[in-house]
Structure 1
Amino acid sequence: MKNLTGADTVDAADMEKRLGWLIVFRVSFATILTLSTLVYSAGEHLSSTEHPFVVLYSISALLVVLSLGYALVLRRVRRKVMFAYGQILLDSFFITTLIFVTGSSESIFTFLYLVGIIGASMLLPRGGSMVIAACSSVQYAVLVFFENQGMLGFLGGQTSVSMMADWPQMVYRVVIIASACLAVAFLSGILAFQARRAHRDLGVVERHLKRVERMAAMGEMVAGMAHEIKNPLASISGSIQLLAENTEPGSPNLRLMQIVLRETQRLSAIVTDFLLFAKPKSGTVKEMRLDLAIGEVVSLFRLDPICVGRIEVNLKLDSPVWIAMDPGHLKQVLWNLLKNGAEAIEKTGTLTIRMAVTRTDRIHLTISDTGCGIKETDQETVFDPFFTTKPSGSGLGLSIVHRIIDSYQGVIDLETSPGKGTTFTLILMGSSQKSSV
């Protein structure tokens, strides 16, 4: 699963799919380049074995061979972002070679730099397109410099006479192309970042809605069971208390009764959790500063035995943000997630709470731990009621958190890496109230 903290990360599976499309596009371009070259040479009654045409065919063939190689190793490569960087950088050199062969500064293929930059923005994390734009600009500047110095004829390229010793025109061309590359990189990078974030938002909401539908059916069943259990349990507890009052202190029967009372209290707490999962209490909604409320919960959690001397809790919060929510619900959500993260850490570790606010007043709150993570087979059921990997517990903690967040029209999702940790992401609507603090 993916988080929604606003970080521009690219999912490995999604990256593999995009790289596949890049390979297909590259092979398609090589095919079109070959066919168009053949058509042009035939239409102009030129020999297809002349030097420029041979170079174009060679470029096309090399692109196809490389693409087939990329396709063969695609699934075996682990660092797919670096793999994408390598492909796109190599593509930029092919574009420069193509421009060099087809007229240098007069070439009609200069626009391919922009195509490569747009592709980089779709594949690489934010900033990657700027790297490709800078690399393309440098290559074009070197090419134009060689043309200006009359060195392309020696290398086998075509030199524009109008460019010879015309430094102002050379600088002008380089500045225009570099500006276009950087502008396209900047704009396409922003659009790609927003598209990726919107795609992740949509995916998280879809998963959340599926869980809500599944939980709604479970909630009705659980509520019926809880009500049927609660009354007999109260009768048993009351009866045992009356019997205990009439039993001599220290007798074996009294000890047995105390065990029964302790277990009935535990069952009563579980039934209460059942009811809370089935239908969270509406509570009293209040306007409050989220950063201050989080700070109060964290201050209490740092004093809890599960945290003292073992867990470091870091806060990375935005400027003051207001939210309309029941303080008890917020505390329960935060406490459950913090406790869940602490229990996932075997010895010592770190819990980190981050908060960011989008322009649409959506609050992205993440709680990350450095624990054992969640197995891939368990990730889809971790929010289901009664699911737990712990030796004790009802398995309702995360289910209750999910129901509470949903009752405020919020969304919860997680990103986990087995052996490295888990990040829970809450998406909540901020309050319209603004703080002047």
Structure 2
Amino acid sequence: MSELEQDSTERNEELLGKIKWLMVLRLLFATFLLVATVVVQARAYPSFSNTSLASLYILTGVIYFLTLCYALLLDRIKKYIFFAYVQLVFDVLFVTALIYVTGGIESIFSFMYILTIINAAIMLYRRGGLLIASASSIGYGSLLDLQYFGIIHPYYIRASELMTYTIGYYFYTLLMNIAAFYLVAFLSSYLAEELRRSGVKLKAKQYDLDQLELLNRNIVQSINTGLITLNNQLEISYINPAVEQISGFVYRDLEGIHIGDIFPKIVPYLSISDRGGDNDDMPQPQKGIDVDFDRRDGTRLHLGFSQSILKDPGGDEIGLILIFQDLTEFRQMQEQVRRMDRLAVAGELAAGIAHEIKNPLASLSGSIQMLRDEVDFGPMQQRLMDITMREAERLNALVNEFLLFARPERAVDRSVEVNEVIEDTLEMLKNSPELSRPIRIEKTLSKNLWVHIDSQRLQQVIWNLVLNAVQEMKNSGRLSVATAIRTKRGSGDAPRDYARDRQEKLAEISISDTGPGILPENQGKVFDPFFTTKDQGTGLGLTIVHRIVENYDGKIFLDSDGRSGTTFTLHFPLAEEDPQDRPQ
């Protein structure tokens, strides 16, 4: 429906409502006239003839009959303006007849014309008011003319009581009434049109207000920022959907409870002294507050809060508004940037040192090898030569690690079946001297798990992680390796991201041990170059793992409570099976 059609429909509905009210008022007047006629007849006033009283009964019956007809035609007639004019014209005729049977020029019911004109002005505005005023003037003027020339005589006046009036009195009475008719028509139509214009403006303002309220509601409902309103007792009165998504709680669980029951670390910042001055025109946001928060599912998040005063329209404080965002990914990115900065500096240093050492070291190793092959040393000298060669090889391996850390190269990669690499790596571990302790290996592997990576790089990553896990378990323990397919939502870094739309399949590799765990203060440093808690460690193993994983668009996560056990989780984009590896 177009805007024009909708406006026409609304006007028709408005006019229909006015017509119904006119019919109700007409019935009320007819009932009043009927009761008054009965009272006059009962008291037998000598001024009223039986003919006059009978005429009043007939007029009353006609009103009831016409109103009934109007009611029956109401649902069938679509031209409400024409219908309104018909009723108003009949009302003018009825008033004229009523004045005729109640005394003509002496009738007290001439004011009924004014009521009819007011009804016309309300229903049909200026044009309708002026037309009905004209009809009333014609009807009243014709009645007085006929009475003056003696063509008709009022019913209720007996012949003996008939009074004669001068032409001047007739003219004066008619002129005053006609002037009153048009004046009432003009004023009432003016007021009706002003009321209509005010109604249109009010409706437009109300529509704008509704649209603004709807826009505000949609904004509050759609933003990814959490919004909470609190009353003066710090009890939750409203939350938007983002709060449910971030916290894991639903509104019915939070309504009316104290904010400290959900965000206990934020309460110390919500004291009255922190709410700002009472004379501020607008609530001012408070300084940012960063707190840790444990979701309902156990995920640890880092939230950034700000607060402002909630005021009612009168300017009185009625509570607080809390706005917060999930800064977990932002903090992770900050930490990653800091780590990359440290890696860049250390990488440049490592690359320079490695190149300066590698060439002399190769010459040294070659010379020692030649001496050992050509000179016949004694047992003591041979032992020293073996120590020298072994340490030279260890130093060469360390230099190679420096170079891999400093300038990781993306080798030729293809789709690799993760479980095959894990099986090969664990077989190497079983034959390694590091597995001399009674350590149980458990595997939970998902089938057909393919990632796009160089197989040697993936094996290097898994080897470093399982080797670290074994070394952490001093006497005995359990090494658990699991693979699975996970769904990543959105672009978040966390393994258990939430409330996103875009989904992506990930290959997950988790390696867990039952060792003593990693202290919380060390967990942010484990991927830093040269950080180690081992006596013989270089501090580059996990750094190289981190570089390789990120070089293939992967993510690595650490989970440890610092008391028992550590889990490293790897996420890689899931790849299709390599056609070269499919059976022919």
TM superposition score normalised by structure 1: 0.54
> Is the contact made by 2:516 and 2:563 (CA closer than 8 Å) also made in structure 1?
yes
Cα deviations by residue, 1:359-383 (Å, 9 ceiling, x for unpaired):
4022232211111111223222211
Instruction: Say whether 1:340 aligns with 2:468.
Output: yes
Cα deviations by residue, 1:151-174 (Å, 9 ceiling, x for unpaired):
xxxxxxxxxxxxxxxxxxxxxxxx
Shift of 1:261: 2.0
Give the whole-Å Cα distance in 2 for the aligned partners of 1:383 and 1:305.
26
Q: Secondary structure at the match of 2:441?
A: strand
CA gap 1:433/1:208 in 2 versus in 1, 3 angstroms? farther
Instruction: Say whether 1:418 aligns with 2:546.
Output: no
CA gap 1:25/1:291 in 2 versus in 1, 3 angstroms? farther
Larger CA deviation: 372-381 vs 333-342: 372-381
Q: 1:266 aligns with which of 383, 389, 394?
A: 394
> How large is the RMSD of aligned CA atoms in angstroms?
3.8
Determine the structure 2 residue equivalent to 1:306. 434
> Is the contact made by 2:438 and 2:475 (CA closer than 8 Å) also made in structure 1?
yes
Q: Secondary structure at the match of 1:367?
A: strand
Instruction: Say whether 1:320 aligns with 2:526.
Output: no
CA gap 1:242/1:360 in 2 versus in 1, 3 angstroms? same
Shift of 1:31: 9.7
Q: 1:28 aligns with which of 202, 221, 234?
A: 234
Give the whole-Å Cα distance in 1 for the aligned partners of 2:400 and 2:393.
10
Instruction: Say whether 1:125 aligns with 2:297.
Output: yes
Shift of 1:279: 1.6
> Is the contact made by 1:342 and 1:351 (CA closer than 8 Å) also made in structure 2?
yes
Shift of 1:22: 9.2
Give the whole-Å Cα distance in 2 for the aligned partners of 1:24 and 1:229.
65
> Is the contact made by 1:23 and 1:71 (CA closer than 8 Å) also made in structure 2?
no
CA gap 1:26/1:432 in 2 versus in 1, 3 angstroms? farther
Cα deviations by residue, 1:252-304 (Å, 9 ceiling, x for unpaired):
44433332222211111111111111122332212122233323322332343
Determine the structure 1 residue equivalent to 2:517. 373
Determine the structure 1 residue equivalent to 2:353. 225
Give the whole-Å Cα distance in 2 for the aligned partners of 1:256 and 1:428.
47
Query: Residue type of the partner of 2:563?
Result: G
Determine the structure 1 residue equivalent to 2:477. 349
> Is the contact made by 2:230 and 2:236 (CA closer than 8 Å) also made in structure 1?
no
Higher RCO (CA < 8 A, seq sep 6+): 1
Query: Residue type of the partner of 2:541?
Result: G
> Is the contact made by 2:415 and 2:578 (CA closer than 8 Å) also made in structure 1?
no
Query: Residue type of the partner of 1:274?
Result: F
Larger CA deviation: 251-260 vs 347-356: 251-260
Instruction: Say whether 1:208 aligns with 2:352.
Output: no
Query: Residue type of the partner of 1:214?
Result: R
Instruction: Say whether 1:287 aligns with 2:287.
Output: no
Query: Residue type of the partner of 2:506?
Result: R
Instruction: Say whether 1:431 aligns with 2:575.
Output: yes
CA gap 1:249/1:329 in 2 versus in 1, 3 angstroms? same
Shift of 1:422: 1.0
Larger CA deviation: 328-337 vs 385-394: 385-394
Shift of 1:308: 5.4
Instruction: Say whether 1:245 aligns with 2:373.
Output: yes
Cα deviations by residue, 1:304-328 (Å, 9 ceiling, x for unpaired):
3333552222222334221111111
Instruction: Say whether 1:401 aligns with 2:545.
Output: yes
Give the whole-Å Cα distance in 1 for the aligned partners of 2:343 and 2:352.
14
Give the whole-Å Cα distance in 2 for the aligned partners of 1:307 and 1:432.
34
TM superposition score normalised by structure 2: 0.41
Give the whole-Å Cα distance in 2 for the aligned partners of 1:199 and 1:317.
33
Give the whole-Å Cα distance in 2 for the aligned partners of 1:354 and 1:396.
25
Give the whole-Å Cα distance in 1 for the aligned partners of 2:235 and 2:516.
46
Determine the structure 1 residue equivalent to 2:364. 236
Q: Secondary structure at the match of 1:404?
A: helix
Q: Secondary structure at the match of 1:320?
A: coil
Cα deviations by residue, 1:313-360 (Å, 9 ceiling, x for unpaired):
222233422111111111110011001011111221112223332140
> Is the contact made by 1:273 and 1:396 (CA closer than 8 Å) also made in structure 2?
yes
Give the whole-Å Cα distance in 1 for the aligned partners of 2:329 and 2:440.
30
> Is the contact made by 1:311 and 1:348 (CA closer than 8 Å) also made in structure 2?
yes
CA gap 1:394/1:27 in 2 versus in 1, 3 angstroms? same
- Equivalent pairs counted in the alignment come to 272
Instruction: Say whether 1:277 aligns with 2:402.
Output: no
> Is the contact made by 1:342 and 1:369 (CA closer than 8 Å) also made in structure 2?
yes
Give the whole-Å Cα distance in 2 for the aligned partners of 1:337 and 1:229.
28
Query: Residue type of the partner of 1:399?
Result: T
Shift of 1:210: 3.3
Give the whole-Å Cα distance in 2 for the aligned partners of 1:321 and 1:203.
31
> Is the contact made by 1:302 and 1:313 (CA closer than 8 Å) also made in structure 2?
no
Larger CA deviation: 308-317 vs 285-294: 308-317
CA gap 1:392/1:67 in 2 versus in 1, 3 angstroms? closer
Query: Residue type of the partner of 2:389?
Result: L
Give the whole-Å Cα distance in 2 for the aligned partners of 1:414 and 1:403.
15
Q: Which ranges in structure 2 are unaligned for 5 or more consecutive residues?
A: 1-226, 239-255, 269-293, 299-324, 488-502
Query: Residue type of the partner of 1:411?
Result: K
Determine the structure 2 residue equivalent to 1:361. 505
> Is the contact made by 1:27 and 1:67 (CA closer than 8 Å) also made in structure 2?
no
Q: Which ranges in structure 1 are unaligned for 5 or more consecutive residues?
A: 1-20, 33-59, 76-121, 127-195
CA gap 1:220/1:361 in 2 versus in 1, 3 angstroms? same
Query: Residue type of the partner of 2:575?
Result: S
